[in-house]
Every structure is written in structure tokens, then in C-alpha cells.
């Protein structure tokens, strides 16, 4: 075992997922040095090494709600997917390689990894960024609640990182455990969170199931049936394998393989299709991602278990996915009623970059979570509890997101949850652990609950968490202070300068001259309780209402600007108010 010299860096990021990449790019752009410890050879986590390359996003992602680098990454992916097949993209805002019905953008996982490599390449070349691939943190040293050293192992080498700031962007919240910090797993008790759907008693092992996704190509008139996996019948019957889903209401939703289901539901095949062969002339074979309830492993957690148990559960989860493939090849009822199974389905190891055809690592939905300085509970964002169009407002917002509260079965709880939410914010306090002076959370390990995690774990939300973590860590480094002492207003100002939205205003995107001022007004509560509070668009030409005007005047006085100086009338349009806010020097013009 080789031991390298210690590496000094501004920021050490543990993990290789979307939050890690977003944090790295943000900090690097601002001039920080970064060491990133990636557990695999691909960066991108759920988008690449975890094989979930059918993005879980909100309806406005093409025009609002995505951070600039995230949108650039999506653009690169579209371009690279088209180039693989020599296709022409007529509209880069709508091209979906897979034409899947679950997502606006579906693609091959390795394409995401390649696109991320293109984004980080200049920083690697300049040695501002050091990426240690296939490397895991194995020990953490602290002094006075400050992380001083991180020991890691990879490629038959042990090395030591000496960071100023640390970002835990690992899939399981590894730093929380290694540094002996407080963390939560599983479902909290109702008395703890006050959530209506929380159980009476805490269930720390009720952690959402994980999944090994895989890709298959449909090869007409061919047979590619795999060897029957060990324990196939037990795995099939226990799950059970089916194309029928059961909703929150208990109603069955039957799907068919390649045609619409008996109740009109779209085909299972196009659910997470990664490549639609109709994009080319002549047509090429379709390739689809298989990530379905039938191959969700929810029979045991891989958090806080010994090495033998971890290995056993990973092995069983892999066999579960291969067993589901075997069932699709041999037992699923054919759409035309002529028999069972589709032997034409060919496993595609090259798509996942592995020998067995499964993703490099499991898609992890739920991690260890910090208690944080601010905890996000389900009632903060559920439609049933939030009467306005936006979720609970956070004055310390450092990003936004939107997705259903989507929970998959967990050990001891076979029930799913898929509940509508309001467009929400990411509070800065949720990224900061209460018991470490130089650590930030950078992905799904922020201070959500078991329930609210179901909305904050998705692709663009994790990216936005990472952007915020990278920014806060950079500011903390430059000012030589703890993240908890960093000025929220200062961080927000710098994030907005990047074009990173902190509040929902879908008709005022980052490129609009009124973007920063609009964000400032919403963050200061000026949207009020009137009509604008019931819609996501601002309507720039419409005037303020009485409630908003009163809030604005109070806010301006708090900033030392009396009404006579402000020169703002209630009849002024939102856009003219933005211009006046800029003129008063409350926000930057750009």
C-alpha cells in the first residue's frame, strides 16, 4: 500500500454525485482549490454511475429553476446523444433522446459522465481541481469540532487531505458517521417532526429502498435470455414482479409492455426509454432503462450495517434486478396475448460501463441526514398544508426545487407515497450541521426528514444544493469563518450574480434585467398575500397590491430608506419598482 504526501486544499468534497460536481464547479469558478473524492470512475451519481439517466425534473426546467451549469450540462448531453447517431436537433430546448413519458430528457449514463468531464476539464488541466477516482474516505480527524484531516483509500494508495472546508456530498452521508457527528436515519416520530404522516415511534431502519438500474435494447427476432439468476423464484414471488402499480388510493394501474394499458396508461417500455430509434432514418433499435418498483430493493438497508451484511444486500439487490430482467424475457404476458416473455430484450453493459450490465452503484434515495440548523418538514411543502402557490418561504433560501413527495417502500413499510407539493426553497440552515465548524452537506443529506427527503433528492434539486454548498464553502474559506457565521445576504447576492434562482418567478428568468431585483423583493416578502401569491409568474407590468406595497415600505425603512426617498407609489408596476430598487443601490444592476 502506497502512502502519498498530504494534499492541502481549500475545499475537500466527499462524493462524486451531482451535488459534488455542482459544488466543485461553483467553488472552482470563484477561484478555490478543490479535491474531490469520487467512489467510482464516473462522476455524476444518479445521472451516470447510478444509472438514473431519465431526469426527474419539474415542468419549468427548460426556462426557469435550473442553475446555469445544470442547464449547460443538459445541453451538452443532448448534443452528444444526437452526435452518437448522427441525428439533427431541431430544437435544443425540447429534444429528448428517449422520448420517454416520465422525463423531458433521457440519455445514456456514460454520456452524462463524458459531459461532466468536459465541464471540469479546464480545472483539472490547471491543477485547480484534483479528482481522486475510485477513492473512499476511511477516517476523519477533528480538533475543537473542526475537521483537520481526511484519510482516504483508492487504487492501492492511501492519502491524506488537509482542507479548510469540507462538503459531504456522499450518497450515504459518510462524513457524518466518520466524524462522529449527529445524524438521523429513517422515519422520525410524529412527536419529533409534527408531520401528519410520520409514525408514532421513530423507525431508524425505515430507509427508502435502493435500485440497481440496467439498460436493455430491443432486438427484433433475436433471443438474448440471460442465465436464470440464483434464487429467481424467491425473488420474483417476494417482490412480486408485475407491470401493475398501486397508487396511494389503493387503485391498480395496469401497464402493458409496448402498447397502451387496458385503462389507457402509456407503455412500460417508453417509461424510461433512453433512445427512441425513430430519431434516425432508417430507425435504430430502442434502448430503455429499467428502474421500476419490481427491482427496488427494500428488504434491508445498507446504512450502518457491517461489511458482510452490506455485501449480502448489495448482491441480493443485483440479483433482484437481473431476476426482473429474466422475468421480462421469459414470463411477462405478451401484449398480443400469444404467450409470455420478450427474449428480444438484450442487456447493454456498455450503457452502464459495467461487466454485469447493472449500474456501477445503486441508486440511493435516502441517506444519513444532518439535524441541521433548519429542518425541512413535509408540511412545509405539501399542497395540502400550503394554501399559496409557493411552499413555505425561507428568508435564508439558497436555491429552489420542485418535485412530488415521492417515497418508495422501505424495510418494514411496503407502502409508497406520491403526494403533490408546492414549488419550494432550499434554506441555507439545512446545509449546516450544528456540531462541526467547517462542514457542509452537499446533497440528499441535508436537514430534511424521511418524508420531505422524497422531494429534495431529485436531480436538479441535488444540483442546486451542491451549488449552494460550493458557494458557502468558498465564502467561509475566503473570510476564514465557519459556514454558520457566513452572511446569508452575502451568499444570496453572489448566488444571484451567478444566475442561480432563490425564489420562484417563472416569467423573470436569470437573463432578464429585473431578475435580481425580483428575487430580492420575493426574498423580502414583498410578494405579500394577494394575487401574486397565488401564481408563479410575477406579471411585470402589473402594479403592486396594497399588501405588497405596505411590506415593501416597511422593508425599505428597515434598510434606512424612507418613503420620500424611495419615490415608489402603489400604482407603480413591478418592473418599475425593480428599476427603482436597483437605482437605490439595494441590488446590483447586473
Q: Give residue 590's pLDDT band: very low, low, confident or very high (50, 70, 90).
A: low
**Among candidates 48, 174, 62, 165, which has minimal Cα distance to 117?**
48
pLDDT at 2 over 70: no
- Mean pLDDT on 74-102: 92
What pLDDT score does 589 carry?
Answer: 65
What pLDDT score does 588 carry?
Answer: 82
Q: Over pLDDT 70: what percentage of the chain?
A: 99
Digit-coded pLDDT (tens) for 180-202: 999 999 999 999 999 999 999 99
Q: What is the pTM of this model?
A: 0.97
CA distance 49 to 42: 6
Contacts of 363 (CB under 8 A, 6+ apart): 46, 50, 51, 52, 210, 211, 212, 213, 291
| Complete DSSP assignment for 205-263 | T----EE--EEEEE-TT---PPPPPTTHHHHHHHTT--SEEE-TTS-EEE--SSS--TT
Cα angle 143, 148, 150 (rounded to 5 degrees) comes to: 130
pLDDT at 287 over 70: yes
DSSP state of 167: E
CA atoms within 13 A on the CB side of 428: 21
Domain residue ranges of the chain, discontinuous segments joined by +? 2-182+366-497, 210-352, 515-583
What cell does 279 get? Answer: 430519431
CA distance 532 to 318: 49
What pLDDT score does 345 carry?
Answer: 98
pLDDT at 309 over 70: yes
**Among candidates 175, 210, 180, which has minimal Cα distance to 411?**
210
pLDDT at 269 over 70: yes
Q: Over pLDDT 90: what percentage of the chain?
A: 93
How many Cβ atoms are within 10 Å of 387's Cβ, its own excluded?
A: 10
- Mean pLDDT on 532-542: 96
Place of cell 440497481: 212
Digit-coded pLDDT (tens) for 336-354: 999 999 999 999 999 999 9
pLDDT at 94 over 70: yes
| Complete DSSP assignment for 22-42 | HHHHHHHHTT--EEEE-SSSS
Determine the 3-state secondary structure of 418 from DSSP.
Answer: strand
Digit-coded pLDDT (tens) for 198-219: 999 999 999 999 999 999 999 9
Least confident of 165-174, 184-193, 567-576, 581-590: 581-590
CATH superfamily of 2-182+366-497: FAD/NAD(P)-binding domain (3.50.50.60)
- Mean pLDDT on 514-536: 95
- Mean pLDDT on 24-39: 98
Q: Give residue 89's pLDDT band: very low, low, confident or very high (50, 70, 90).
A: confident
What cell does 280 get? Answer: 434516425
Mean residue pLDDT across the chain:
96
CA distance 432 to 438: 9
What pLDDT score does 223 carry?
Answer: 98
Determine the 3-state secondary structure of 565 from DSSP.
Answer: helix
pLDDT at 399 over 50: yes
Burial 227-266 (b: 16+ CB within 10 A, else e): eebeebeebbeebebbbebeeeeeeeeebbbeeebeeebe
CA distance 37 to 224: 38
By the 10 Å C-beta count (0-12 exposed, 13-18 middle, 19+ buried), 503 is classed as buried
Amino acid at each position: 500500500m502506497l502512502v502519498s504526501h498530504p494534499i492541502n486544499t481549500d475545499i475537500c468534497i466527499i462524493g462524486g454525485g451531482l451535488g459534488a460536481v455542482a459544488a466543485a464547479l461553483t467553488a472552482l469558478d470563484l477561484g478555490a482549490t478543490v479535491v474531490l473524492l469520487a467512489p467510482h470512475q464516473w462522476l455524476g451519481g444518479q445521472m451516470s454511475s447510478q444509472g438514473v439517466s431519465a431526469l426527474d425534473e419539474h415542468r419549468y426546467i427548460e426556462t426557469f429553476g435550473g442553475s446555469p451549469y445544470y442547464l449547460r450540462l443538459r445541453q451538452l448531453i443532448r448534443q452528444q446523444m444526437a452526435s452518437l447517431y448522427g441525428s439533427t436537433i431541431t430544437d435544443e430546448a425540447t429534444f429528448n433522446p428517449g422520448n420517454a413519458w416520465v422525463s423531458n430528457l433521457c440519455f445514456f449514463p456514460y454520456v452524462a459522465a463524458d459531459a461532466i468531464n468536459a465541464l471540469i476539464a479546464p480545472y483539472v488541466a490547471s491543477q485547480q481541481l484534483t479528482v481522486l477516482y475510485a477513492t473512499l474516505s476511511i477516517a476523519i480527524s477533528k480538533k475543537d469540532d473542526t475537521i483537520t484531516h481526511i484519510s482516504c483509500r483508492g487504487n492501492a494508495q492511501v492519502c491524506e487531505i488537509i482542507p479548510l472546508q469540507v462538503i459531504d456530498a456522499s450518497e450515504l452521508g459518510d462524513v457524518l458517521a466518520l466524524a462522529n457527528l449527529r445524524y438521523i436515519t429513517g422515519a422520525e416520530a410524529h412527536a419529533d417532526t409534527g408531520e401528519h404522516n410520520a409514525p408514532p415511534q421513530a423507525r431508524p431502519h425505515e430507509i427508502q429502498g435502493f435500485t440497481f438500474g440496467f439498460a436493455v435494447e430491443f432486438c427484433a427476432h433475436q433471443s438474448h435470455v440471460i442465465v436464470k439468476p440464483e434464487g429467481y423464484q424467491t425473488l420474483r414471488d417476494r417482490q412480486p414482479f408485475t407491470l401493475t402499480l398501486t397508487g396511494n388510493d389503493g387503485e391498480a394501474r395496469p401497464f402493458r409492455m409496448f402498447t397502451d394499458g387496458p385503462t389507457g396508461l402509456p407503455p412500460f417500455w417508453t417509461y424510461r426509454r433512453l433512445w427512441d430509434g425513430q430519431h434516425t432514418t432508417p430507425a435504430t433499435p430502442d434502448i430503455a432503462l429499467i428502474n421500476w418498483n419490481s427491482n427496488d430493493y427494500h428488504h434491508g438497508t445498507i446504512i450502518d450495517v457491517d461489511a458482510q451484511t452490506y455485501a449480502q444486500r448489495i448482491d441480493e439487490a443485483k440479483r433482484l434486478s437481473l431476476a426482473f430482467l429474466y422475468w421480462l424475457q421469459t414470463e411477462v404476458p405478451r401484449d398480443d396475448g400469444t404467450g409470455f416473455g420478450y427474449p428480444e430484450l438484450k442487456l447493454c453493459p456498455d450503457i452502464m460501463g459495467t461487466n454485469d450490465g447493472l449500474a456501477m452503484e445503486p441508486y440511493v434515495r435516502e441517506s444519513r441526514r444532518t439535524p441541521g440548523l433548519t429542518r425541512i418538514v413535509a408540511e412545509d411543502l405539501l399542497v395540502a398544508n400550503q394554501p399559496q402557490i409557493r411552499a413555505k418561504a425561507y428568508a435564508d433560501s439558497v436555491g429552489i426545487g420542485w418535485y412530488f413527495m415521492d417515497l418508495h417502500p422501505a424495510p418494514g413499510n411496503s407502502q409508497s407515497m406520491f403526494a403533490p407539493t408546492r414549488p419550494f426553497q432550499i434554506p441555507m440552515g439545512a446545509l449546516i450541521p450544528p456540531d462541526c465548524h467547517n462542514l457542509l452537506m452537499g446533497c440528499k443529506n441535508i436537514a430534511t426528514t424521511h418524508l420531505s427527503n422524497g422531494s429534495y433528492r431529485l436531480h436538479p434539486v441535488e444540483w442546486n444544493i451542491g451549488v449552494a454548498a460550493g458557494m458557502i464553502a468558498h465564502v467561509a474559506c475566503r473570510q476564514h469563518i465557519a459556514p454558520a457565521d457566513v452572511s446569508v445576504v452575502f451568499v444570496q447576492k453572489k448566488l444571484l450574480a451567478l444566475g442561480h434562482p432563490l425564489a420562484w418567478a417563472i416569467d423573470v428568468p436569470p437573463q432578464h434585467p429585473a431578475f435580481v431585483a425580483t428575487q430580492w423583493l420575493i426574498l423580502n416578502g414583498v410578494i405579500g398575500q394577494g394575487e401574486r401569491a397565488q401564481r408563479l409568474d410575477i406579471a411585470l407590468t402589473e402594479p403592486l397590491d396594497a399588501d405588497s406595497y405596505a411590506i415593501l415600505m416597511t422593508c425599505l425603512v428597515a434598510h434606512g430608506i424612507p418613503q420620500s426617498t424611495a419615490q415608489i407609489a402603489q400604482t407603480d408596476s413591478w418592473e418599475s419598482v425593480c428599476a427603482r430598487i436597483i437605482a437605490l443601490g439595494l441590488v446590483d444592476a447586473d
